Amino acid sequence: MKSNNIHSNRITIASLLVALGIIYGDIGTSPLYVLKAIVGTKVIDETLVLGGVSCIFWTLVFQTSVKYIWLTLKADNDGEGGIFSLYALVRRYGKKLIIPAILGATTLLADGIITPPISVASAVEGFETLIPGLPTVPIVIVILSLLFFFQRFGTQKVGIAFGPAMIIWFTMLFVLGISQIMHYPEIFKALNPVYGYRLLAEYPHGFWLLGAVFYVLPVLKHFIPT
């Protein structure tokens, strides 16, 4: 039994590839629509771009590093995490919080429903620049139908299929990101939270752009083991 446990807990390149295909697809596709949703059809200026990037960066810092890694991961249930484990702990120790825990579970399920269509639709919309008048909605429906049909064969097979694709995708993001940073190093000014404040407080209707910034939040559920 001990040798079996050691074997099952061994981390291999193949297991990392499967995990990459299963978990990080959502994280990798968020650049497709988050910044686009912030900029929209507005006049692009320094406040909008640097403020939007600043809000995204600090949202990820606080939500991931502070809230999830530092706080939520400590609320484990026999080594298991996630909203459902939190719900089990609440039932056991804090019954007054059961309603918020149920709401958290429902938002997790809702996120699982809304995120795939947003990601696929954003990817397909990119082809409209090459093929004007492309029937986006029917294509999205077909792709989602095929993905959910393929999912019935098991999570591991899904991960094996999507793992190499995610490696190519993240490599492309890395190369394009580095090349653009080399051309526009002033983007590092977005690390200053003052730009985020200016977007929310001084830009016309800037506060309402938080709804677009929060598009990045659904990816954060993957940092919590469930």
What gap in Å lies between CA 77 and CA 81, rounded to an integer? Answer: 6
160-188 confidence digits (pLDDT tens): 777 787 888 888 888 988 999 999 898 99
Coil/strand/helix, residue 80: strand
Look at residue 81 in the predicted model and tell me its pLDDT.
Answer: 62
> Quick one: tokens of 161?
């299929």
* Closest CA relative to residue 34, chosen from 225, 226, 220: 220
Cα dihedral 129→179→210→125 (10° resolution): 20
The residue count of the chain comes to 226
- Cβ pair 121, 147 in contact under 8 A: no
Determine contact, residues 198/51, Cβ cutoff 8 Å.
Answer: yes
* pLDDT score of 221: 45
Q: Indicate the DSSP class of residue 64.
A: I
DSSP-based three-state secondary structure for 77 = strand
pLDDT value at position 6?
Answer: 43
pTM: 0.64
Give the model's pLDDT for residue 1.
44
List per-residue pLDDT tens for the chain, 226 residues long. Answer: 444 444 445 667 767 766 666 666 666 667 667 777 788 767 788 888 898 889 888 888 887 777 766 776 666 667 666 666 766 777 777 667 777 777 777 877 777 777 778 778 877 877 877 888 888 888 988 988 887 887 777 767 777 777 787 888 888 888 988 999 999 898 999 899 999 898 888 888 888 888 778 777 654 444 443 3
In degrees and rounded to multiples of 5, residue 77 shows phi and psi of -120, 95
